[in-house]
Structure 1
């Protein structure tokens, strides 16, 4: 990625602080075309590569319970659907709360240094996971505590995106941030694809066979703990700190007074919050509505482990597309189109749900009848995920254009990312509300609410950033 037209070089700070190690860069001018072509692009790409790897693992650990919850019964734990949906929701809540302090950490400690720390922090939730699943007497509240620790993986997103935002010039931020985020989002898809294989719970469409010795969930903890150490070592060897990435917490928090921060937070709940919430809930949604474990060993209906990862995979793959389209067409236009797609696809999923029969007693006959409608459910749900991915990429293109400096936009990324991630907590709760007797009825009601929310998000996007562009005119030179 190089700039085609060099811009006038800027004078590096005269009083740049001297660092103790060579991994600090105090002269960083991404908007200077000559600097970018000579050294900037190469350095930025290297940091982006390892940032993607570390963030990918963070997302994997963050969402490790999303698919593990569906295997707890096979591992000897007897939890209700309400308990399981709450269990997969807890990491999203903690991850959302951690995003703000993680954003502040990059200017304070350096992007490389914080990547090392945040990667090693993943050892805590993986250890807790291993303890919980290897003791059949582990109480439900302990599972909730260990699931909460997995939220540290969600904080990695904020620090990673903040760090990469400082590395790239304005015209390339949409693509760079989209790639960085997509690498993290892919962690959700891969943990949902590979964890069943790692723990012996399922094969991959016949290419790999399930373990004959039963389910061993602790194996997943060992694999991801080892990868977390690899990510920390890679960050130590290959990443850099930017001495120019400076901001005080007080200055960063000042962006909460900017109305754009809250408008974009509202929209990001609809895009990223939907991606995380649907990713967390999809394995359980498939299991509860389309599969029962009898007769053994394969059960009846659609086995959730074969398809649960597809939603996150599609949402991850379309996120860079959203950033790329936003760089060329404008973030607001692409975001509006994404919400339009979300409305249509969500209503289509709701239609398929109305064709299903509730199966509270895990009757194989009902599971078999519902199976014929699964392909419509899956196809429409994948369209929902595609729209969330495009919307994620386009909203993140909009954010840097709404603030005057990289420090302000990086702080905004943290706040908006934290609020948006709350959707990952609220959606699983909505799918099996404690006050609703039937899980299927709760799911239908939830999709009605989601469709209404997306309609409002589309209206807000149009009103604030398309119908009245004067709201942002003069704030920055680049288009929203």
Structure 2
């Protein structure tokens, strides 16, 4: 009951909840819902700033022009954002494990304060074009700290909410974080418009007080759950499961494309279409904003028509959209390029939702097959739930590496051909492979252990 679930200090410097039972409807109604939602909104604020700091250099590279003293080539700029993306992707795994170890409130506080380091470095570096490129690369890479915040935030919120509400809560948390990519680009646009391209250091300066505010919000309004535990066994089991790597591959195609294109969009406009920093910044935020806002649509469509089907048709549409982009680059049509890229961003957002939605459906089907084969229902559901939860963290981390690949491919494309066309051809082929994988693995309907077509029993297809 709610009366038996106190919120009390358990360790020095942190507020710990001793007992937490969100599945108990009385507790949830009387106390749990209010506490969980307070932590959710605080977490969204911190995660949003994490995505903004992670994406900071995708904006600052627009300020790195000969007029401001920089002589970095397009290949060097693409490598810069690739390194930042890589650090953020790698940190997602340890950040996931940090929440059960240190507590969601305490880790949010630590991770937000840590973002002051790359933000201050950005203020200094963008004013010092004489900095050696290798040192610039190393110091700017610290912005990858912001990429880890997604995993710790999602892991923390997952513990707070009951099963019946996790979809809404996690979707809101993910969308609120993702849109930080668009927000920092809007800040960049405002700085260029008001202060000119010579004042790029104002962009990270905007975030310094916001990070301090987020730290105060986490300290004042968030809680640690004493019952949250890291399930290392489930994570090791997930690594051995073929679905972990198949779904990670598909998520590279969706979220990897979202974050990779978000980082690269402004550079593409500058180097492919010779846009000025102001002209590039005036449109770069549109794509990430659209991709973030439509993410819940992918989940809703998957509930209605099946995650596998939505993912398949989404990748098919991404092939068509990429083909139009190739045509636009060939014709040097900026209008067609922008329109097609906006559609592609929308598709990455829908795909983010549909691929993530496939994971619990896959393990729901496995639970049904285990039950049909004689495994006790409670054991089958508990085991598959553990694996599905572990898989969500692993897929999120591996999928983020797609952002690294996107920018490295652009780098090689400009280095070899002076154009983005070869890169988009490579992406088109990759999306076509994703179509084949989705179809062969999740939509061919082999007979399951329960005697039903696998896709039909799971809702994946």
* 2:235 corresponds to 1:252: yes
Residue among 347, 370, 392 paired with 2:352: 392
Name the counterpart of 2:222: 239
Equivalent pairs counted in the alignment come to 433
Aligned mates of 2:34, 2:446 — CA distance in 1: 36
Tell whether the 8 Å contact from 1:165 to 1:406 is kept in structure 2 after alignment: no
Q: What's the offset of the Cα at 1:239?
A: 1.5
* 2:430 corresponds to 1:453: yes
Instruction: Name the stretch that deviates more: 403-412 or 328-337.
Output: 403-412
Q: 1:187 to 1:262 in 2, by over 3 A?
A: same
Aligned mates of 1:38, 1:472 — CA distance in 2: 43
Name the counterpart of 2:329: 353
Tell whether the 8 Å contact from 1:287 to 1:304 is kept in structure 2 after alignment: yes
* Within-5 A mapping of 1:146-185: 146-185=139-178
Instruction: Name the stretch that deviates more: 271-280 or 465-474.
Output: 465-474
Tell whether the 8 Å contact from 1:192 to 1:308 is kept in structure 2 after alignment: yes
Tell whether the 8 Å contact from 1:177 to 1:396 is kept in structure 2 after alignment: no
Aligned mates of 2:361, 2:139 — CA distance in 1: 39
Aligned mates of 2:154, 2:70 — CA distance in 1: 37
Name the counterpart of 1:36: 28
Aligned mates of 2:305, 2:166 — CA distance in 1: 14
Q: What's the offset of the Cα at 1:58?
A: 0.4
Instruction: Name the stretch that deviates more: 244-253 or 142-151.
Output: 244-253
Tell whether the 8 Å contact from 1:178 to 1:322 is kept in structure 2 after alignment: no
Q: What's the offset of the Cα at 1:23?
A: 3.2
Aligned mates of 1:434, 1:446 — CA distance in 2: 6
Aligned mates of 1:351, 1:307 — CA distance in 2: 20
Tell whether the 8 Å contact from 2:8 to 2:17 is kept in structure 1 after alignment: no
Q: 1:126 to 1:146 in 2, by over 3 A?
A: same
Residue among 283, 291, 297 paired with 1:321: 297
Residue among 92, 97, 104 paired with 2:85: 92
Q: 1:307 to 1:241 in 2, by over 3 A?
A: same
Instruction: Name the stretch that deviates more: 428-437 or 309-318.
Output: 428-437
Tell whether the 8 Å contact from 1:161 to 1:413 is kept in structure 2 after alignment: no
Name the counterpart of 1:367: none
Tell whether the 8 Å contact from 1:268 to 1:417 is kept in structure 2 after alignment: yes
Tell whether the 8 Å contact from 1:264 to 1:395 is kept in structure 2 after alignment: yes
Residue among 412, 422, 425 paired with 2:404: 425
Given the two structures, how large is their TM-score scaled by the length of structure 1?
0.83
Tell whether the 8 Å contact from 2:269 to 2:275 is kept in structure 1 after alignment: no
Tell whether the 8 Å contact from 1:178 to 1:396 is kept in structure 2 after alignment: no
Tell whether the 8 Å contact from 1:174 to 1:327 is kept in structure 2 after alignment: no
* 2:198 corresponds to 1:211: no
Q: What's the offset of the Cα at 1:470?
A: 5.8
Tell whether the 8 Å contact from 2:315 to 2:432 is kept in structure 1 after alignment: yes
Name the counterpart of 1:24: 16
Q: What's the offset of the Cα at 1:406?
A: 5.5
* Counterpart secondary structure, 1:164: helix
Q: 1:471 to 1:478 in 2, by over 3 A?
A: closer
Q: What's the offset of the Cα at 1:260?
A: 1.5
Q: What's the offset of the Cα at 1:51?
A: 1.2
Aligned mates of 1:459, 1:111 — CA distance in 2: 39
* Within-5 A mapping of 1:70-149: 70-73=62-65, 74-149=67-142
Tell whether the 8 Å contact from 2:157 to 2:170 is kept in structure 1 after alignment: yes
The unaligned stretches of length 5 or more in structure 2 are 364-382
Name the counterpart of 1:284: 267
Q: What's the offset of the Cα at 1:64?
A: 0.5
RMSD: 2.8
Tell whether the 8 Å contact from 1:110 to 1:242 is kept in structure 2 after alignment: yes
Aligned mates of 1:53, 1:417 — CA distance in 2: 20
Name the counterpart of 1:379: 339
Aligned mates of 2:355, 2:231 — CA distance in 1: 25
Given the two structures, how large is their TM-score scaled by the length of structure 2?
0.86
* Counterpart secondary structure, 1:135: coil
Instruction: Name the stretch that deviates more: 426-435 or 221-230.
Output: 426-435
Q: What's the offset of the Cα at 1:250?
A: 4.6
Aligned mates of 1:236, 1:243 — CA distance in 2: 17
Aligned mates of 1:426, 1:125 — CA distance in 2: 22
Q: What's the offset of the Cα at 1:95?
A: 0.6
Q: 1:405 to 1:246 in 2, by over 3 A?
A: farther
Name the counterpart of 1:343: 319
Aligned mates of 2:216, 2:248 — CA distance in 1: 34
Choose between structure 1 and 2: higher helix proportion: 2
